[in-house]
Amino acid sequence: MDFLQPATWSEALALRAERPDALPLAGGTDVMVDLTFDRRRPAALLDLTRVPDLQEWALEGDRVRLGAGVPYARVLTELAGRLPGLAIAARTVGSPQIRTRGTVGGNLGSASPAGDAHPPLLAAGAEVELASAARGTRRLPVADFFTGPKRSALAADELIAAVLVPVAAGPQQFCKVGTRNAMVIAVTSVAVALHPDRRAVGTGIGSAAPTPRRAPKAEQLVAEELDWAGRTALDDGLAAEFGHRVAAAAAPIDDVRGSAAYRRHALAVMARRALTWAWDDLRRAA
Amino acid sequence: MTATTTAAPATTGTGRIGENAVRPDGTLKVTGEFAYASDLWHDDMVWGVTLRSPHPHARIRGIDVAEALAVPGVTAVLTADDVPGENAFGLEHADQPVLAADVVRYEGEPVALVAADHPETARRAARRIRVDYEVLPALTDPLRALDGDAPQVHPGGNLVRHLRLRRGEPRPEAPVVVSLDVEVGMQDQAFLGPESGLAVPDGEGGVDLYVATQWLHVDQRQVCLALGLPPERVRLTLAGVGGAFGGREDLSVHVHACLLALRTGRPVKMSYGREESFYGHVHRHPAWMTYEFGAERDGTLVHGRARTVLDGGAYASSTAAVVGNAGTLGLGPYRFGSVEVDVYGVFTHNPPCGAMRGFGCVQTAFAVEALMDRLAEAVGLDPVEIRRRNGLREGDRNITGQVVDSAAPVAELVERVAAMPLPPPADPGDPRARPGAVGNTTRGEGVRRGVGYAVTYKNVGFSEGFDDYSTARVRLQVTAGEPVAAVHTAAAEVGQGLVTVQQQIARTELGVDRVVVVPADTSVGSAGSTSASRQTYVTGGAVRAACEAVRAAVLRRAAVALDVAVDGLRLDGGKVLAADGAVLAALADVLGDDAVEETVEWRHRPTHAIDPETGQGDAHVQFAFSAHRAVVDVDVELGLVKVVALDTAQDVGRALNPDAVVGQIHGGSAQGLGLALMEEVVVTDGHVRNPSFTDYLLPTVLDMPPMRVEVLEYADPHAPYGVRGVGEPPTISSGPAVAAAVRAACGRPLTRLPIRPEHITGT
Ligand SMILES: Cc1cc2nc3c(=O)[nH]c(=O)nc-3n(C[C@H](O)[C@H](O)[C@H](O)COP(=O)(O)OP(=O)(O)OC[C@H]3O[C@@H](n4cnc5c(N)ncnc54)[C@H](O)[C@@H]3O)c2cc1C
């Protein structure tokens, strides 16, 4: 197995084009597991950890441009204020060791329906920035990035450069259920983001459909019904209906981690609670 | 009697019994330098791998190994035809083929072996073995196993053992009758060091096997049978064991590695990964239990009835003995006038099940304790009082009619856990303290607190007439001017701390500071199994007896040399002392260049077979009791649980090493909590669906609370130093206490274990 170690972004893109058989490697917390279990035997690894551009984040207008190689631990310590939803999700990933190595770019690269970064990115309305040596850079909404279970819009000659996440204009929440209290893959998860600036609500559902997905009907309902101007207390009925619509947007299956019925039920409960907390935070802020 | 709490003094003193002597392997383990079986290495070694059946039941029509043999680097490919001795092994019955010959009976059954110069090469070659399977209908529902039309797993039917127990008036009237069905899923031992071994051919047709196991001699017997070799040509040495919990009682790599080594003439290493480990050892029997208790209106038990089915899977393993425990101990530590118990262990095409910590008592305790809570409710008592009132006391007869002839402090244990302070409400500022923890699923919404109690008793040592003994060889000699004792047994140290206890006993009995524990191997007689909470008792007893024999010999020598009477002489501080403590001589001078060595085979009091019709008899040698109180916070809307406290009291007879005792109690309690809340090998249609630690969940530090532990020391007058087995009771009473607490919090019956979130939410 060849080990390719580009030192610059352009070198990385050139190698990616030259060696379509090379598997990109960031924190390795998915890749190395696959290698160990012999699920993958790529001809080469393309180690991206030496590419400085990927390891940084910066403000780009009202968005954070988060390099694909920034690990969860840094999202937690450096971005909890600007990207609270992603930070809450980052806190739930694996263990301290996994959070130190694992990256948001790697989570996107794997495109697992259970990836914990995905729901908050969906709720925030993030974009993924992809790049290739031949065609340069393109950006697409994260919702369009996921094309199937562990499949994405990433082309064979492309790398993920960054994800562009709007700086939170309002409260954000993320909730994840698992069968134990740490180090657990989501049985299901949900993210809620309030966008008071444009009187909108974002959602993201994890582990309850072939891909992470939004719940547009739930978003629409509360965007219209919430008392954005007066910020009066959230109506219990509205919160419950939001939960039901989130659950209805999911297409879960029965598997060894949980039943479809439980996933729907849990989504409804979590979405209701998450919206309530977010709205209460918004009212308190006012 | 003394009762001590967790805060035992952290002194090591002189490292004698009763002190917190430091483990000789402790530092190595903590620093990562300890050599586990998976670290075994030999220059020139090749790697062995196993090809396993993908089907729960199939006929093998043919095996073509040509393509595998042709892979460069492959040194051997073996099938059933290559087993020189009997193609059979098994703990109690040799019913399991070393390599499947004509039929496979469970998913994961070994079919062929490959040796190659690299494990990767061996694995790839194994994939090129073409096995022509004719898939057969599989029996995967144990409740159908005894139906006339069920597929037969073995000729002779699907019943491994039926235990029938009858006592007292057959159908007594009781004013209060409660009943319940409980189901317990399949738990895995989940030891962290997967199966590993190294077989080294001796060039003369024999072999040395280094392997992680629980009982070297029972392994040796089975390996010899399969290899067709006498014991002197098959020598076993214990390799570093990374946990066992019963999962290493049956053979894994043993015969396979030896076969490959003898065939290739090269040392062969075999080492399973985690996934293979799930197929490579037996699990805890899943159980289906129907229980009924009758009682007076004041809660006094009148009768107990139980019908239990244990799924033994495809081979017998230790199912018969597990049935024995699930029957003879199956109504818990309570007094009953009338008893009717039937336990069935059956064959299916599911993964084989066998020994696991708690051995038949774990499953039944979930039913017994849940039913005791129901009874309490029916008669208007609280869970503590119902147990206090019915708990066994010393001198009582248990359900097999055996007199419990040492301490049976059921009432005291339950009272003690009930008297411990209850934990304060969860810290609202710490998300880790909530159900769901950093999953951020509640800020208190839906969270209810529940408290649950459970108590148990468990047999220590092997039962039902088994000749249960251990052998110890102790040698005392002078090395570099200092007397040094060497203790040699075949007893397996599996992490529990037996090596420390052996040192403590030798220091105590021989009055020396330096004690070397010689690596366990088959050049000394059998120590019996490291299971049934028995080694401190039985091998401890053997080491003490061997030390006493050495001491007697040394004192006789001293008496002759010093020309004094031997009576009253003793050893301490490396000196021979007179009765008044006066130093008579240095041990080094008495011994000179000689070594004094004694080998002793030591037995506990005999046990007896039970009557086949009534199940009556003195089946067990000793009973160990423990109680737990669990406090949980449950998010009843999401079905998530945070165990806030899991406190316990246990009678250990005498704590030879208090720290090690508490360690056993912590670990056992975590294992019971795991079964109550998350640990299950999920098997569907004979296929294991979660053979990984991604989906077989073990409790983490956020699932297991800090514990309050009260250790009681009611010495058993029949046991060496008064010890009582420690390792298993915590695994038994912890889970039912957690389950009871969750029931109390959410108000649902929760009769299926492990409790899943959807059971709590009812979705
Ligand atoms: C013990 C353990 C616990 C875990 N717990 C969780 C959890 O709770 N939640 C969760 O979501 N995940 C969890 N994971 C999975 C994993 O940690 C995450 O998916 C993580 O985000 C992967 O990031 P990485 O940097 O390690 O990616 P890698 O393993 O390096 O790569 C993952 C994939 O992305 C591709 N890739 C990486 N970078 C790029 C790039 N710049 N361009 C194109 N492709 C790229 C790789 O080729 C690969 O296909 C866990 C893993 C382990 C081992």
DSSP B312-334: -TTS-TTHHHHHHHHHHTTT-SB
Residues of chain A with Cβ-Cβ distance to B275 below 8 Å are 37
Q: Which of residues 154-193 of A touch B (CB under 8 A)?
A: 173-185, 187
- The architecture of the domain spanning A172-285 is 2-Layer Sandwich (3.30)
The whole-number pLDDT of residue B13 equals 60
Residue ranges of domains in chain B:
26-35+469-603, 40-137+199-269, 401-462+619-763
The yes-or-no answer to whether B40-137+199-269 and B401-462+619-763 have a common fold is no
Give counts: helices (H), strands (E), chain B.
16, 32
CA separation for the pair B624, B459 (Å, rounded): 6
Q: How far is CA B397 from CA A164, B26, B307, B612, B653, in A?
A: 73, 42, 21, 19, 20
Q: For residue range A251-273, what is the model confidence (pLDDT) as tens digits?
A: 999 999 999 999 999 999 999 99
What b/e sequence results for B194-227 when a residue is b if at least 16 CB atoms lie within 10 Å of its CB, and e otherwise? Answer: bbbbbbbbeeeebbbbbbbbbbbbbbbbbbbbbb
Q: How far is CA A70 from CA A79, A227, B240, in A?
A: 11, 37, 40
- Cβ neighbours of residue A229 under 8 Å, at least 6 residues apart? none
CA separation for the pair A3, B474 (Å, rounded): 56
CATH 3.30.390.50 residue ranges for chain A: 172-285
**Longest CA–CA separation in chain A, Å:** 62
Say if pTM beats, i.e. exceeds, 0.95: yes
Q: Calculate the average pLDDT of chain A.
A: 97
Chain B closest-CA separation from residue A244 CA (Å):
14
Residue A159 Cβ < 6 Å to ligand 1: yes
Query: Cβ distance A66 to A165 under 8 Å?
Result: yes
Residues of chain B with Cβ-Cβ distance to A179 below 8 Å are 677-678, 697, 756-757
Q: For residue range B106-145, what is the model confidence (pLDDT) as tens digits?
A: 999 999 999 999 999 999 999 999 999 999 999 999 999 9
Query: Cβ distance B337 to B419 under 8 Å?
Result: no
CA R_g for chain A: 19
Q: Which helix (H) or strand (E) holds B536?
A: helix B535-562
Query: Cβ distance A30 to A73 under 8 Å?
Result: no
Which residue out of B442, B702, B763 would a mutagenesis test of the A interface target, given it has the greatest number of A Cβ atoms within 10 Å? B763
Domain B401-462+619-763: assigned CATH number: 3.30.365.10
Q: For residue range A126-149, what is the model confidence (pLDDT) as tens digits?
A: 999 999 999 999 999 999 999 999
**Is the predicted pLDDT of residue A86 greater than 60, yes or no?**
yes
Q: Residue B698's closest chain A neighbor by CA?
A: A180
Task: Give the torsion through C-alpha atoms of A268, A274, A275, A279, to 10 deg.
Answer: 160
| Contact status of A39 with chain B (Cβ, < 8 Å) | no
Q: How many residues would you count in chain A?
A: 286
Q: Are the Cβ atoms of A175 and B441 closer than 8 angstroms? A: yes
- Which one-letter amino acid corresponds to residue A272? R
Residue A15 Cβ < 6 Å to ligand 1: no
The whole-number pLDDT of residue B267 equals 98
Which residue in A181, A259, A270 is closest to B437 by CB distance? A181
Could you tell me whether strands B103-104 and B58-64 are parallel, antiparallel, or unpaired per DSSP bridges?
antiparallel
Residue A101 Cβ < 6 Å to ligand 1: yes
Looking at domain B26-35+469-603, its CATH class is alpha beta
CA B214 to chain centre: 9
- Residue B606: how many other CB atoms lie within 10 Å: 11
| Contact status of A96 with chain B (Cβ, < 8 Å) | no
Tokens linked to B206? 């024999």
Please identify, by atom number, the ligand 1 atom nearest to the C-alpha of residue A71. Answer: 25
- Which one-letter amino acid corresponds to residue B157? G
- Taking Cα atoms as reference points, which of B741, B750, B736 lies closest to residue B455? B736
Chain B closest-CA separation from residue A57 CA (Å):
25
Query: Cβ distance B56 to B140 under 8 Å?
Result: yes
**Running DSSP on this structure, what letter comes out for residue B423?**
P
| Contact status of A32 with chain B (Cβ, < 8 Å) | no
Tokens linked to B560? 């002759």
The whole-number pLDDT of residue A38 equals 86
**Hey, which of A8, A16, A19, A29 would you mutate to test ligand 1's pocket, going by the most ligand atoms within 8 Å of its Cβ?**
A29
CA separation for the pair B498, B448 (Å, rounded): 42
Residue A271 Cβ < 6 Å to ligand 1: no
**Low-confidence residues in chain B, pLDDT < 70:** 1-13
CATH 3.30.465.10 residue ranges for chain A: 55-166
Q: Are the Cβ atoms of A262 and B758 closer than 8 angstroms? A: yes
Tokens linked to B195? 């199966």
Chain A closest-CA separation from residue B355 CA (Å):
25
Closest residue CA from atom 45 of ligand 1: A109
The whole-number pLDDT of residue B1 equals 35
**pLDDT classification of A286: cutoffs 50, 70, 90:** confident
**Running DSSP on this structure, what letter comes out for residue B159?**
E
Which residue in A176, A256, A261 is closest to B763 by CB distance? A261
| Contact status of B682 with chain A (Cβ, < 8 Å) | yes
Closest residue CA from atom 21 of ligand 1: A107
Q: Residue B441's closest chain A neighbor by CA?
A: A175
CA separation for the pair B309, B289 (Å, rounded): 6
The whole-number pLDDT of residue B10 equals 40
Calculate how far, in angstroms, residue A110's C-alpha sits from the geometric centre of ligand 1: 6
Calculate how far, in angstroms, residue B696's C-alpha sits from the geometric centre of ligand 1: 20
- Taking Cα atoms as reference points, which of B711, B715, B732 lies closest to residue B724? B715
- Residue B38: how many other CB atoms lie within 10 Å: 18
- Which one-letter amino acid corresponds to residue B479? T
Domain B40-137+199-269: assigned CATH number: 3.90.1170.50
CA R_g for chain B: 27
Domain A55-166: assigned CATH number: 3.30.465.10
Q: How far is CA B471 from CA A56, B162, B598, B603, B641, in A?
A: 65, 33, 10, 9, 46
| Contact status of B693 with chain A (Cβ, < 8 Å) | no
Which residue in B446, B701, B757 is closest to A179 by CB distance? B757
Q: Which helix (H) or strand (E) holds A58?
A: strand A57-60
Share of chain A above pLDDT 70, in %: 100
Q: Are the Cβ atoms of A37 and B756 closer than 8 angstroms? A: no
Residue linked to tokens 């049985």: A187
Please identify, by atom number, the ligand 1 atom nearest to the C-alpha of residue A95. Answer: 3
Please identify, by atom number, the ligand 1 atom nearest to the C-alpha of residue A26. Answer: 30
